[in-house]
Structure 1
Amino acid sequence: MNFIIHFGIIANALLLYILIKNALKQVQFKILFVIFSWILFTQISLFGFINQNEIIFYPVFLFQDTITISIGPFLYLYVRAIFFPDKHIIKDNYKHFIIPILYLLFSSIPKLIELIQRPETFGHIREGVESILAMSTIYTLIYCIVALKTLSKTKKLIMQYYTHISPNDVNWLQKFLYGTVIVFGIDISLTIYELVFPGISFSVGIISFFIVFLIVYLAYHGISQTKILLPEFLFTKEEISFEQDSSKNEINNPRNKVIYDLKEMNSLKQELEKLIQKEKWYLIPELSLKSVSEELQISDKKLSYLLNQYMNVSFYDYINYLRVEEVKQKILDPSYAQYTLLGIALDCGFNSKTSFNRTFQRFEGITPSNFKKNQAIA
């Protein structure tokens, strides 16, 4: 148990060091720093608890006792900060912390005072407060579920509006939130188990193990998550019905959604192909649906309909397929022989090695390096 907690503390401290050194300029990483600082103090508190060390345990007890009710709002704001960067996000969302503050004042602080005055209660800090722990855990679970719903809607919108962001870019965060739900689910289960079998207290060790696992996972994946910026107005747009569009060439189908005139769609398709393929707009790294619709002088809703309904392709796939084809042509072009694969990818509109490799393999079924080797052999 001591080994697990020691490992967790070291991993957490390393992650905080990386955040301080490289990433605290972005608001999402400031929130992440708070989250992992809280977890670090909680780990130190658990270490003091397991080793019956009051000098270590008491100073950080409040972090350990409030983490179950505080981590949920912080995780929710972290998700929002990734997609909607705002330096005032904590200030503007203070209401989410009212209940954790009340919990601190009327539960955690009195509990700490009781522990200091009655050291014999040190042995099992969960005893007698199972209902409060359950309520605080449920509070965090609600925030995790809301954050997961935000992610689910985000992944859908990404492919409709952007080409430089992949839905896979948020998979790690989705898994982390599911992991958090599992940890708190285990916590609730163990609390119930301890009620049925009093005197058995191994929950701290089990929970510590899963917390350490999540820390390592987020440390590996979370630091590089800096480029996803999804304007909040897109969430509102997604809920707007097509029937609100006032275009002259629209008629309603039985579902009360708009079907655009086929001639208009065919004409728009030709204009789109001229802009994207002939003028090579797909080479623009941060090309978005909005920028294309503005150039075509149509609404982004109409352009989305053209792609998804008329051409049966997402904006993301449409643009990145052309980028992959451009990469293939340049790999075969002797004038690009001195270029690295990454250099070619960046020249073709991709903005990262990870995104390029993933997209290329998705369309071609083979990695870019293997494709290049095969062409050299041929």
Structure 2
Amino acid sequence: MSIFLPILFIGSVQAFFSALMIASKKTSGPEKIYLSLLLLIISLEFIFYILDIYNIIQYQFPVFQFTIGPLIYLFIKAIKSKNYTLNIADLLHFIPFTVFLFVWIFFVYNLASIKYSDKINSYSNSTITFLMGIALFITLLTYLILSLKEIYSYQKNLKSVFSYHSFKNSLNWIKVIVVLMVIGYTLMFTYSSLLLFKIINIAFNPLGIITISFTILSYLIGFYGYNQPALFNQKFNHTNTQHQPTEEKNTHKLNKKETDQITKKIEEIMMEQKPYTKGDLTIDELASILNISRSGLTQLLNQNMGKNFYKFINEYRVNEAKNLLVDPEFKNFSLVAIGYEAGFNSKSTFNSFFKSQTGMTPSEFKKRYSQKK
């Protein structure tokens, strides 16, 4: 079993320091706490496997994995939900972990000591272990599915908050991780079930797969979690309330006079200040510039203009790009550079949105203008 020790040590250290890096970020929020705890749990899981290998403790069942599903779910909820704060009710999600922790301590831990080489069979053939495995699988699957539901809900509303799409705000990385975890745990549970009921007779130690999988998992969570400012910087966060403290209580509907005044103000600011040229502009930032609530701006865009924030901003960017494409001062700029100058933060978004608005790509637009001269 010593073959797994280097990976276990590396995984434990990597997860631990990733947790410290995320916890040390100069921003506050429960999402940071949940992600740090998730990495610490992974590190702790590795440590218990190491102690088990050295026969210091008996760790036949990964009881700490009962916390992984709830932590991922609460992490996504904290990012998605407005005004989310830590509360006592969150602890209810960890009831399965608490129950099976006591089961592990008072029952599984007191099983007769056996050599690690014999644990391959006992891992799948123990009725108690299998029942705990069913509980773990159901708990994880439930929370992972709930997490996917929250991610899809978050992504559905992206265009009402952000003016851009990128890994910084899409949560695609955590969606991929959750999907892979669903597949991985389903395969492991299916294998254990088939082995227990003697449908197959191919026994192997799952520690290798678990070790490698969680090492990769801790790296991905640490890397993307640390490098994704949309998760920890309130300026980008979907839950930002810095400029609208009474947002939730504001149910006032704009009348025609207010609508006309705000519309005129928006047009003036968009023409003079050109906030749309900021590639990562959010609706909170524009609402702050206009000195109105986010709900008021959203209402104006959706009900009076018939568009979401994403479309509203990128239409201005397209018009800006059209002007730059025919401006002699920018004739030596590449099309990508023109897109960035207009506020687009990727070539693909620039091309696709430009074509959806004009019926032609930026290069076709520039070529057609040149032919008319």
TM over 0.5: yes
| Alpha-carbon distance in 2 for matches of 1:172, 1:23 | 20
- Counterparts in 2 of 1:175 and 1:306: CA distance versus 1, 3 Å: same
Q: How far apart are 1:296 and its partner, in Å?
A: 6.8
1:318 aligns with 2:312: yes
| Alpha-carbon distance in 1 for matches of 2:261, 2:71 | 48
- Counterparts in 2 of 1:232 and 1:93: CA distance versus 1, 3 Å: farther
Q: Secondary structure at the match of 2:111?
A: helix
Relative contact order (C-alpha < 8 Å, sep 6+): which is higher? Answer: 2
TM-score, normalised to structure 2, is: 0.68
Q: Which moved more, 1:197-206 or 1:67-76?
A: 197-206
Q: How far apart are 1:68 and its partner, in Å?
A: 3.2
- Counterparts in 2 of 1:329 and 1:356: CA distance versus 1, 3 Å: farther
1:76 aligns with 2:73: yes
Q: Which runs of 5+ in 2 are unaligned?
A: 232-236, 242-247, 356-361
| Alpha-carbon distance in 2 for matches of 1:295, 1:207 | 50
1:66 aligns with 2:67: no
- Counterparts in 2 of 1:297 and 1:232: CA distance versus 1, 3 Å: closer
Contact 1:183 1:211 in 2 (8 A): no
The RMSD of aligned alpha carbons is 4.8
Q: Secondary structure at the match of 1:197?
A: coil
Q: Secondary structure at the match of 1:231?
A: coil
| Counterpart amino acid of residue 101 in structure 2 | L
- Counterparts in 2 of 1:288 and 1:33: CA distance versus 1, 3 Å: closer
1:231 aligns with 2:239: yes
Percent of pairs with identical residues: 20
- Counterparts in 2 of 1:362 and 1:230: CA distance versus 1, 3 Å: same
| Counterpart amino acid of residue 171 in structure 1 | N
| Alpha-carbon distance in 2 for matches of 1:54, 1:343 | 61
Contact 1:5 1:43 in 2 (8 A): no
1:188 aligns with 2:189: yes
Deviations 1:275-314 (A, max 9, x none): 4245423246665445656877987567546545765543
| Counterpart amino acid of residue 226 in structure 1 | P
| Alpha-carbon distance in 2 for matches of 1:291, 1:226 | 15
Identify which of 27, 32, 36 aligns with 1:33.
36
| Counterpart amino acid of residue 194 in structure 2 | Y
Q: How far apart are 1:315 and its partner, in Å?
A: 1.0
1:125 aligns with 2:123: yes
| Alpha-carbon distance in 1 for matches of 2:40, 2:83 | 21
Contact 2:287 2:294 in 1 (8 A): yes
Counterpart of 1:174?
175
Any residues of structure 2 matched to 1:1-378 within 5 Å, and which?
6-7=6-7, 9-11=9-11, 13-21=13-21, 23-25=23-25, 26=27, 27=29, 28-46=31-49, 53-55=53-55, 58-59=56-57, 61=59, 65-83=62-80, 89=86, 93-116=90-113, 122-123=119-120, 124-126=122-124, 127-128=126-127, 129-163=129-163, 166=166, 169-197=170-198, 200-202=202-204, 204=206, 205-228=208-231, 229-231=237-239, 272-283=266-277, 287-289=281-283, 292=286, 303-304=297-298, 307-308=301-302, 313-323=307-317, 326=320, 334=329, 345=340, 355-356=345-346, 359-360=349-350, 362-363=352-353
TM-score, normalised to structure 1, is: 0.67
Q: Which runs of 5+ in 1 are unaligned?
A: 234-239, 250-262, 366-370
- Counterparts in 2 of 1:275 and 1:86: CA distance versus 1, 3 Å: closer
Q: How far apart are 1:82 and its partner, in Å?
A: 3.5
Contact 2:18 2:222 in 1 (8 A): no
| Alpha-carbon distance in 1 for matches of 2:294, 2:21 | 40
